[in-house]
């Protein structure tokens, strides 16, 4: 569908954010170089422009950071909860104040549209700190016994798809419960975590309570394996999650793992089609599909398949792909060349295995990493594109005839993170939701998040919950 009206470019200004040419590690309240002096570059995935050069942490830096966190732990955990709460409220407020700066920074470093960082990521980040700030002096009321104690030093490793939001999910509950933190952001998106370090300083957070180590998987492995880390929190791929589980087995370290997913979005024949189409689009094309709880499998009832797919293709043809800083952009850049090649390879496998590929008609920019919204029809449950997490803007469409068949197909996966149900019938929502083996089930909506709502997986999507009252348990000594 050619657009009758062209949009004028509406880019958000970059001038709101000042990115330094280089950054150090944030250890014990100070920015410092890596012990061996190593650095790496952070690249903007939409232009391949080098944004900054950051220190690359090694084992020695991990040890320094864990020692700083350990030193800070005694005082921090002994503070009255009401005082810890006030630090977290300060952080939440500073994030709100600096939200436009952080949104632009996140868009530059990650490649996701400014509309998402501005309207989803940043408001949720601030809300998460507000929510857990309120818990810090109310832990007695959380249902984990009187005066529940923190675990100690938390080693946290987060992914690149929601850099600052994943940081908030990890750091806010850890600090509220009295733990201290060493966090490693992903190597392709280190910048917002370093800006967060500056926010900790503005908030007057005591030294060593939060330490940020930028680096690669080797730093993550060293952090997870450090003998003085009491708690490991990881969000990322199932393969790395399994490796972490093996690495810490028998050490007594507590762990929460939030891993991959292959969410089923189930559309029944009585669903309002236009609404469902919007939900399908949000489910798999939000953040270019680089979402662990993405609704990457569409299960549509056979009788409405044509209607839904026609409406879906029409809608996908209107999505605007391009400059992530443009306020009209719907689809931004893929986070890295590596991720793009993974998505491309899996899509090719889909074609080779006989699924029918449809790609939204849109021009891809010449620089940067891009993948047009794509869907596969004629997909069976045996196809790779129906089984493996693609982590990109690729939707696999399957059909079903009865609710039982929908449930069986939705559950036929190694994962169990999310699912969606689209129907006008309330009783069907409750009946189907109860049978789905998924940590989050959305009804007549998708990808809705709130700090009060726990999130986490079944099966190979991991264990432990983040968010809500339930999210406190992962950081308290409840054994």
**Measured from the CB of residue 202, what is the shortest distance to another protein in angstroms?**
16
Closest approach of Cβ 400 to another protein, in Å? 24
In the numeric block, the tokens 């408001």 are attached to 123
Nearer to another protein, 35 or 142 (CB): 142
* Contact in structure between 200 and 226 (CB atoms under 8 Å): no
Identify which of residues 131 and 376 has a Cβ nearer to another protein in the complex: 131
3-state helix, strand, coil in the chain (%, to 5): 45, 20, 40
200 has catalytic annotation: no
- Site map for another protein, 280-309, x if CB under 8 A? ------------------------------
The residues in 323-362 that bind another protein, with binding defined as CB under 8 A, are none
Nearer to another protein, 136 or 304 (CB): 136
Q: Choose between 38 and 86: whose C-beta lies nearer to another protein.
A: 86
Q: E strands within 133-177?
A: 153-157
Site string for another protein, 120-159 (x = CB under 8 A): -------x--xx-xxxxxx--xxx----------------
> Residues 449 to 468: which contact another protein by CB under 8 A?
451-452, 468
For residues 112 and 118, which CB has a smaller minimum distance to another protein in the complex? 118
CA distances from 111 to 122, 143, 248, 327, 338 (A): 15, 40, 33, 13, 14
Contact 161, 122 (CB under 8 A): no
Is residue 258 among the annotated active site residues?
yes
- Give CA–CA dist 164/161, Å, rounded: 9
Closest to another protein by CB, 78 or 249? 78
Q: Least CB distance from residue 452 to another protein, whole Å?
A: 5
The strand pair at 210-212 and 39-43 is best described as: unpaired
Name the one residue in this structure whose structure tokens are 């990808």: 447
Footprint (CB under 8 A) of another protein, residues 77-96: 82, 85-86, 89
Q: Is 469 in the site for another protein (CB under 8 A)?
A: yes
Structure token pair of residue 178:
């009295």
CB environment 328-356: b (16+ within 10 A), e (fewer): ebbbbbbbbeebbebbeebbeebeeeebe
444 binds another protein (CB under 8 A): no
Nearest Cα residue to 374 out of 422, 334, 420:
334
Residues in the interface with another protein (CB under 8 A) total 21
Task: For residues 228 and 182, give the distance between their C-alpha atoms in angstroms, rounded to a whole number.
Answer: 11
Of 56 and 90, CB closest to another protein: 90
Q: In the bound complex, what is the minimum distance in angstroms from residue 441's beta carbon to another protein? A: 14
Residues 423 to 442 in contact with another protein, rule: CB under 8 A: 430
All residues at 6 or more sequence positions from 114 whose CB lies less than 8 Å from its CB, including other chains:
12, 103, 104, 107, 324, 325, 326, 327, 329
Catalytic-role residue among 116, 292, 466, 473: 292
Give the residue from 414, 458, 453 showing the smallest Cα distance to 258.
458
State the minimum distance, in angstroms, from the CB of residue 448 to another protein: 13
**Do the beta carbons of residue 320 and residue 332 sit within 8 Å?**
no
Rounded least distance, CB 39 to another protein, Å: 40
Residue 10 near residue 42, CB atoms below 8 Å: no
Taking the least distance from each CB to another protein, the nearer of 54 and 175 is 175
- Let me know if 280 is exposed, middle or buried by CB neighbors in 10 A (0-12, 13-18, 19+): buried
Give the 3-state DSSP-derived string for 58-73, with helices as H, strands as E and coil as C: CHHHHHHHHHHHHHHH
Residue 426 C-beta: closest distance to another protein, Å: 9
| Shortest distance in whole angstroms from residue 66 CB to another protein | 30
Residues forming the site for another protein (CB under 8 A): 82, 85-86, 89, 127, 130-131, 133-138, 141-143, 430, 451-452, 468-469
Q: Which residues are catalytic?
A: 258, 292
């Amino acid at each position: 569908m050619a657009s009758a009206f062209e949009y004028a470019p509406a880019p958000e200004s970059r001038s709101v954010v000042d990115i330094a040419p280089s950054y150090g590690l944030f250890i014990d309240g100070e920015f410092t170089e890596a012990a061996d002096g190593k650095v790496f570059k952070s690249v903007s995935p939409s232009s391949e422009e080098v944004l900054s050069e950051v220190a690359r942490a090694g084992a020695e830096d991990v040890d320094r950071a864990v020692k700083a966190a350990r030193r800070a732990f005694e005082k921090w955990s002994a503070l009255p909860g009401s005082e810890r709460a006030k630090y977290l409220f300060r952080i939440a407020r500073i994030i709100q104040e600096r939200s436009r700066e952080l949104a632009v920074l996140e868009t530059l470093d990650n490649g996701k549209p400014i509309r998402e960082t501005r309207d989803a990521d940043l408001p949720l980040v601030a809300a998460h700190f507000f929510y857990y700030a309120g818990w810090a002096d109310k832990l007695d009321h959380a249902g984990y016994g009187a005066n529940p104690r923190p675990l100690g030093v938390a080693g946290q490793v987060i992914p690149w798809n929601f850099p600052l939001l994943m940081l908030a999910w990890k750091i806010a509950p850890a600090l509220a419960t009295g733990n201290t933190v060493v966090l490693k952001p992903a190597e392709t998106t280190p910048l917002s975590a370093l800006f967060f370090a500056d926010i900790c300083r503005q908030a007057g957070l005591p030294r060593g309570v939060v330490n940020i180590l930028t680096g690669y998987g080797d730093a993550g492995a060293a952090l997870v394996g450090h003998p003085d880390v009491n708690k490991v929190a990881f969000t990322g791929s199932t393969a790395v999650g399994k490796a972490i589980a093996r690495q810490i087995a028998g050490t007594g370290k507590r762990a929460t793992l939030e891993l991959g997913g292959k969410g089923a979005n189930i559309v029944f024949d009585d669903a309002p089609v236009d609404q469902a189409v919007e939900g399908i689009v949000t489910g798999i094309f939000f953040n270019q599909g680089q979402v662990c709880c993405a609704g990457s499998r569409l299960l549509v009832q056979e009788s409405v398949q044509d209607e839904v797919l026609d409406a879906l293709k029409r809608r996908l043809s209107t999505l605007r792909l391009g400059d992530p800083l443009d306020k009209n952009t719907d689809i931004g850049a893929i986070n890295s060349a590596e991720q793009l090649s993974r998505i491309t390879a899996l899509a090719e496998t889909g074609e080779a295995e006989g699924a029918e590929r449809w790609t939204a008609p849109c021009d891809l920019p010449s620089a940067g990493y891009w993948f047009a919204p794509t869907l596969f029809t004629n997909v069976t449950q045996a196809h790779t594109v129906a089984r493996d997490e693609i982590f990109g803007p690729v939707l696999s469409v399957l059909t079903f005839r009865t609710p039982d068949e929908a449930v069986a197909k939705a559950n036929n996966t190694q994962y169990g993170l999310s699912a969606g149900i689209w129907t006008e019938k309330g009783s069907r929502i409750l009946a189907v939701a109860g049978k789905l083996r998924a940590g989050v089930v959305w009804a007549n909506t998708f990808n809705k998040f709130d700090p009060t709502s726990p999130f986490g997986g079944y099966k190979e999507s991991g264990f432990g919950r983040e968010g809500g009252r339930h999210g406190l348990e992962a950081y308290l000594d409840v054994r």
